[in-house]
Amino acid sequence: MFKIKKQKRHNLRTRPRKENSIPQTPVNIPRSMSFRLSWAPLDGFAPASLSWLEYFQTAAGESWPDFSDDIQSCTGNATNVWGASFDDGPSENTPIVLDYFRNIGMKATFWVVGSQVAKYPETLLAAFNAGHEIGCHTWSHPDLVTLSDEEVVAELVYGAKAIYEVTGRVPRYFRPPFGSINDDVRQVAALMGLQAVTWSQDSEDWSYVGTSEMYQVPRTFENWIDDGVEQAISLQHDLNEETVSVVKESMDVLINAGRIIKPLTQCIGAPPGSAYQNPVLQAFFQSGQFEKGLISDVEQTD
């Protein structure tokens, strides 16, 4: 069985990281009694804690879980189901997307970045309360394949912690930034009770930011419909104003073609509530190991 090699501890404040698409500005934590976010790393990145990796390894014992294939599309007999998904939020633009889906009475999946959750916790809570499903998109949006095992754990732990603090739920699914993943990352995630979800259709809306070509996004959706694409999981972004500006037109293309937009678990035919059924991470947060890892990190970097 595949085993994770132990990694040397790295100080992520000085270690070079692959450039990501999320601006890593200092987190302005809302002073709200409703959200406990004082643990959020202020430098944007997720400090690794060897004790967290060791916790998950020990919890798995001798029977390490096998990792599953990445989920890439909807399944089942209903060919008109479409899994719309939005990455990299929440942001000041996410409410526009939420308003649209409220008006049409359908739900999507939001893959949220933890550092963004710390900036816009109320927006995440609004999405969750509206019935949209929430998945982990790491803490700072790095390429997970370039990280050590303990750093992968840290990115997923901090990302899941942000969701947990705001919604009271622990995610079952994660989306690797850039869709970049390998078996090492899958095995680490499986130790944490997480399964990877990518996509079958990329709108490439991110590539048109700062250009006059954003109109290409709804055209892409039209092309997918013309090509007979069914049971897709599509990728868009709710991080900035430009990508959000074409959400309505893009989704209207699907609806006018008879597609029914569903959140992930309904898209794949999973049981209700299973988006947040992760006993491994639930036990981790309830055990106090998260806080112990924070203390250990401070002691080893002083």
Annotation marks residue 141 as catalytic:
no
Annotation marks residue 87 as catalytic:
yes
SS (H, E, C) the chain: CCCCCCCCCCCCCCCCCCCCCCCCCCCCCCCCCCCCCCCCCCCCCCCCCHHHHHHHHHHHCCCCCCCCCCECECCCCCCCEEEEEEECCCCCCHHHHHHHHHHHCCCCEEEECHHHHHHCHHHHHHHHHCCCEEEECCCCCCCHHHCCHHHHHHHHHHHHHHHHHHHCCCCCEECCHHHCCCHHHHHHHHHCCCEEECCCEECCHHHHCCCCCCCHHHHHHHHHHHCCCCCEEEEEECCCHHHHCCHHHHHHHHHHCCCEECCHHHHHCCCCCHHHCCHHHHHHHHHCHHHHHHHHHHHHHC
Cis amide bond preceding 90, omega within 30: yes
SS (H, E, C) 122-139: HHHHHHHHCCCEEEECCC
**Would you give the distance in Å from CA 84 to the centre of its chain?**
14
Which residue of the set 132, 137, 141, 237 is catalytic? 237
Which residue of the set 87, 143, 184, 205 is catalytic? 87
Active centre residues (catalytic):
87, 237
